[in-house]
Amino acid sequence: MISPCLSVNQQGHLDISGCDTVDLARQYGTPLYVMSEDEVRRACRSYAASFQKYYGGNGRPIYASKAFSCKEIYRIVVSEGLDVEVVSGGELYTALQAGVPGKKLHFQGNNKSAGELRLAVENGVGDIVVDNLLELSMLQQAAKEHGVRAGISLRVKPGIDAHTHEFIRTGQVDSKFGLDLQNGEALEAVKQALAAENLELRGLHCHIGSQILEKEPFVHAAEVMLDFYGLLRRELGVTLKHLNLGGGFGIHYKEEDAAIPYEEYMEVVSAAVHRKCGELDLPQPFIYIEPGRSIVGEAGITLYTVGAIKEIPGVRNYVAIDGGMFDNPRYALYQADYTCLIANKADRPADYTATIAGKCCESGDLIQEHAPIQKPETGDILAVLSTGAYNYSMASNYNRNLKPPCVMVSQGSSRVIIKGETYEDLVRNDI
């Protein structure tokens, strides 16, 4: 199995953290998101241990909650010592409602509204990551109105094109995110931030992309950013306190994925940080990284019930499920790979080739094409693995479909952490 929390039990069924997935489907219905608390906590602890090992504790992981945002996940990651990254007023509000202290929040995003900035200032968000010069001005005004000095970082584009899908590249020059190093925009932003009476510039931030399966881009990003730290020290006499190197660490969606253990990312990037700081005679800044997908991705699966099966000779076999692009749009967006299997036949060979079709009125509503699965029958439970990231968080009500519930499992027990929607929920805001 592609995740440590998954196994096949004595009944031949897929098991997640000691819970039989067939029983979960029976108890809670389908479609159903299932998250392993055990796997989430294991990943958090591994990241925390890596900071102790490679940075001597001079750093901290931040959970990038755009991957999966709800009250319970915030409570879990904070209990493991992580900070939390949010990218919207809604994520910020949810984290605050979950009891996350403002000082442990890092607020990002490329076009924050005046209202979102006020919400951040009012709640003492510890690190507001400024994306552009307009935002810098708006934040200065908000902090002045509240009579506080807001702690900020600046998001910088390091000019690195990570080898991943074009929709999830974020660090290249041609990006909607961040301040450009090459044309002097980032340096100008630093100068304006230092001059702002109600802002305290504490560090810089970069992010080069998502689902990256190579180490070299992260090393290069660290080197570029620290070169800029050196320039700021030489030209402006400024020594910034921290450096956020972002996230984007790839995971296993299929067995053949060349996902690098994040321990290896930490080792090579920390070596680059230590080396570069020595070369530039810089005190090592406090290092942040932002794992999101790599904390929750492999911890989650989605369960569906198989409906109609259409076998078109010489063409393909369509296996329809009771979910689709409304609960998992990633294949429709960028042909994301997944491992699929029949949960109640998990001990049998995957010798049937299927295109998993959703129930939305779109020909492109597919979860996976030409996927090897066990021979399906109507009523079987289909499991899609590694759906903990960017599934619930990207879900919609397209075709007026209901967003499924999410259950958390741990050591053989399960509990609902997000209720499934009802038809009444769909019309609640209609007038």
Same-domain status, 111 and 55: yes
Same-domain status, 12 and 58: no
Q: What is the mean pLDDT of residues 35-46?
A: 97
Q: What percent of the chain has pLDDT over 70?
A: 96
Q: Compute CA distances 325 → 10, 276, 305, 365, 378, whole Å.
A: 33, 45, 15, 6, 20
**Are residues 139 and 115 in contact, defined by beta-carbon separation less than 8 angstroms?**
no
Same-domain status, 356 and 233: no
**Are residues 19 and 414 in contact, defined by beta-carbon separation less than 8 angstroms?**
yes
What band does 173 get if pLDDT is binned at 50, 70 and 90? low
**Whole-number CA gyration radius for the chain:** 23
Task: Report the distance separating Cα 106 and Cα 104, nearest Å.
Answer: 7
Q: For residue 13, is pLDDT > 60?
A: yes
| Cβ neighbourhood burial of 395 (10 Å; 0-12, 13-18, 19+) | buried
Q: For residue 363, what are its two tokens? A: 């020909």
**Are residues 124 and 133 in contact, defined by beta-carbon separation less than 8 angstroms?**
no
Q: For residue 169, is pLDDT > 60?
A: no
Q: For residue 12, what are its two tokens? A: 């031949």
Task: Report the distance separating Cα 374 and Cα 359, nearest Å.
Answer: 21
Q: Which of 274, 294, 314 is the last residue of a domain?
A: 294
Q: What is the mean pLDDT of residues 165-172?
A: 41
Q: Which of 265, 294, 323 is the last residue of a domain?
A: 294
Same-domain status, 118 and 81: yes
What band does 161 get if pLDDT is binned at 50, 70 and 90? low
Write out the catalytic residue numbers. 361
Can you give the residue range of the structural domain that contains 412?
6-30+299-426
Averaged pLDDT score across all residues of the chain: 93
Same-domain status, 241 and 347: no
Query: Residue 180: beta bridge partners?
Result: 157
- 190-236 per-position pLDDT tens digit: 999 999 999 999 999 998 877 787 888 889 989 999 999 999 999 99
The CATH number for 187's domain is 3.20.20.10
Q: With b meaning 16 or more CB within 10 Å and e meaning fewer, what string describes 170-201?
A: bbbeebebbbbbeeebbbebbebbeebebbeb
Q: For residue 163, is pLDDT > 70?
A: no
Local structure of 300: helix, strand or coil: strand
Domain-located, residue 15: yes
Same-domain status, 323 and 196: no
Local structure of 43: helix, strand or coil: helix
Same-domain status, 263 and 308: no
Residue with tokens 């479909």: 401
